[in-house]
A and B are shown apart, each in its own frame.
Chain A
Amino acid sequence: MFESFTTRTKQRFCWPQLLLWVVVIAVIVAAPVVLPVFRLNLLGRFLSLAIVALGIDLIWGFTGLLSLGQGIFFAVGGYAAAMYLQLNSSEGQPNGIPEFFSLYGVDRLPFFWEPFHNPVFTLIAIWFVPALLAAVLGNMVFRNRIKGVYFSILTQAALLVFFNFFNGQQKLINGTNGLKTDVTQLFGQMIGSPEMQRGFFWLTCLMVFLTWFFVRWVVRGRFGDVLIAIRDDEPRLRFTGFNPTLFKTIVFAIAGGLAGIGGALFTVQSGIVSPQYMAVPFSIEMVIWVAVGGRGTLVGAIFGAVAIMYTKSLVSEAWPQGWLFIQGGLFILVVTALPEGVIGWLKSDGPRNLLSRIGFVRPIGTYPQLEMDGQDEVQT
Chain B
Amino acid sequence: MQLLFESLFNGVAIGSVLLIAALGLAIVFGLMGVINLAHGELIMLGAYTTYVVQLIFKLPAMQPLYSFYVLVAIPIAFITSGVVGILLERTVIRRLYGNPLETLLATWGVSLILQQFVRSVPLAQAAGLVLALALGFSLPLLLPQKLLQGSRNRLIRFGSWCLSALVGVLFASILGSQISRIARATSRNVDVTAPKWMRGGIEWMDLTFPVPRLVIIVITIVAVLGVTWFLNRSVWGMRIRAVTQNRSMSDCLGIPTDTVDVLTFGIGSGLAGVAGVAVSLLGSVGPNVGTSYIVGCFMVVVLGGVGNLLGTVIASFAIGLLTDLIGAGRLITIWPDMPAPLERVVQFFATTSMAQVMVFALIVVFLQFRPSGLFPQKGRMVEA
Q: How far is the CA of A287 from the CA of B371 in the complex (A)?
A: 25
Q: Is B35 an interface residue (CB 8 A)?
A: yes
A339 touches B102 (CB 8 A): yes
User: Which residues on the A side are within 8 Å of B110 (C-beta)?
Assistant: 328, 331-332
Stretch among A86-94, A153-161, A209-217, A306-314 lining the B interface: A153-161
Contact of A287 among B105, B113, B115, B119 (CB under 8 A): B105
Contact of B109 among A66, A143, A332, A339 (CB under 8 A): A332
A66 touches B104 (CB 8 A): yes
Q: 6 closest pairs, A vs B, by CB? A: A331-B109, A328-B113, A328-B112, A324-B116, A144-B371, A328-B109
Shortest CB–CB separation between residue B352 and chain A, in angstroms? 9
User: Chain B interface (Cβ within 8 Å of chain A)?
Assistant: 35, 92, 95-96, 100-102, 104-106, 108-113, 115-116, 119-120, 291, 295, 298-299, 302, 351, 353-354, 356-357, 360-361, 363-364, 367-368, 371, 382-384
User: Which residues on the B side are within 8 Å of A140 (C-beta)?
Assistant: 364, 368
Dominant secondary structure at the B interface: helix
Q: Is A335 an interface residue (CB 8 A)?
A: yes
Stretch among A2-10, A163-171, A248-256 lining the B interface: A163-171
Q: Which residue of A lies closest to B100 (CB)?
A: A149
B291 touches A280 (CB 8 A): yes
Q: How far is the CA of A158 from the CA of B362 in the complex (A)?
A: 11
Q: Which residue of A lies closest to B351 (CB)?
A: A168
B119 touches A164 (CB 8 A): no
User: Which residues on the B side are within 8 Å of A165 (C-beta)?
Assistant: 354, 357
B105 touches A334 (CB 8 A): yes
A157 touches B113 (CB 8 A): no
User: Which residues on the B side are within 8 Å of A146 (C-beta)?
Assistant: 367, 371
A145 touches B371 (CB 8 A): yes
A to B CB contacts below 8 Å, 11 in the list: A145-B384, A146-B371, A148-B100, A157-B295, A168-B354, A281-B112, A284-B105, A328-B109, A328-B112, A334-B105, A336-B95
Given contacts A144-B367, A152-B101, A157-B364, contact A331 B116 (CB under 8 A): no
A157 touches B353 (CB 8 A): no
User: Which residues on the A side are within 8 Å of B354 (C-beta)?
Assistant: 164-165, 168
A335 touches B353 (CB 8 A): no
B116 touches A325 (CB 8 A): yes
**Count, A-B residue pairs, CB within 8 A:** 111
User: Which residues on the A side are within 8 Å of B299 (C-beta)?
Assistant: 153, 157
User: Which residues on the A side are within 8 Å of B384 (C-beta)?
Assistant: 145
- Which A residues between 75 and 110 are near B, CB-CB below 8 angstroms? none
A149 touches B364 (CB 8 A): no
Q: Is A226 an interface residue (CB 8 A)?
A: no
B383 touches A235 (CB 8 A): yes
* Max chain A C-beta neighbours (<10 A), residue from B104, B112, B113, B363: B112
Q: Is A291 an interface residue (CB 8 A)?
A: yes
Q: How far is the CA of A339 from the CA of B364 in the complex (A)?
A: 31
Shortest CB–CB separation between residue A143 and chain B, in angstroms? 8
B364 touches A154 (CB 8 A): yes
A331 touches B35 (CB 8 A): no
Contact of B116 among A148, A152, A160, A328 (CB under 8 A): A328
Q: Is A330 an interface residue (CB 8 A)?
A: yes
User: Which residues on the A side are within 8 Å of B364 (C-beta)?
Assistant: 140, 154, 157-158
A154 touches B101 (CB 8 A): no
- Given A148-B100, A336-B106, 14 more A-B residue pairs with CB atoms under 8 Å apart are A146-B367, A152-B35, A156-B298, A165-B357, A168-B353, A281-B291, A288-B105, A324-B116, A325-B112, A327-B109, A331-B106, A332-B109, A335-B92, A335-B109
Shortest CB–CB separation between residue A320 and chain B, in angstroms? 10
User: Which residues on the B side are within 8 Å of A335 (C-beta)?
Assistant: 92, 96, 102, 105-106, 109
Given contacts A140-B368, A144-B371, contact A332 B302 (CB under 8 A): no
User: Which residues on the B side are within 8 Å of A157 (C-beta)?
Assistant: 295, 298-299, 360, 363-364
Q: How far is the CA of A197 from the CA of B289 in the complex (A)?
A: 38
Q: Is A363 an interface residue (CB 8 A)?
A: no
Q: Is A150 an interface residue (CB 8 A)?
A: yes
Shortest CB–CB separation between residue A59 and chain B, in angstroms? 13
Q: How far is the CA of A55 from the CA of B239 in the complex (A)?
A: 44
Q: How far is the CA of A219 from the CA of B102 in the complex (A)?
A: 23
Shortest CB–CB separation between residue A121 and chain B, in angstroms? 27
* Max chain B C-beta neighbours (<10 A), residue from A152, A324, A329: A324
Q: How far is the CA of A327 from the CA of B102 in the complex (A)?
A: 16
Q: How far is the CA of A154 from the CA of B367 in the complex (A)?
A: 10
Q: How far is the CA of A66 from the CA of B105 in the complex (A)?
A: 10
B371 touches A161 (CB 8 A): no
Q: How far is the CA of A154 from the CA of B299 in the complex (A)?
A: 8
Q: How far is the CA of A331 from the CA of B119 in the complex (A)?
A: 20
Q: Is A321 an interface residue (CB 8 A)?
A: yes
Contact with B along A268-304 (1 / 0, CB 8 A): 0000000000001100100110010000000000000
Q: Which residue of B lies closest to A162 (CB)?
A: B357
Shortest CB–CB separation between residue A103 and chain B, in angstroms? 19
A150 touches B302 (CB 8 A): yes
Contact of A330 among B92, B101, B109 (CB under 8 A): B109
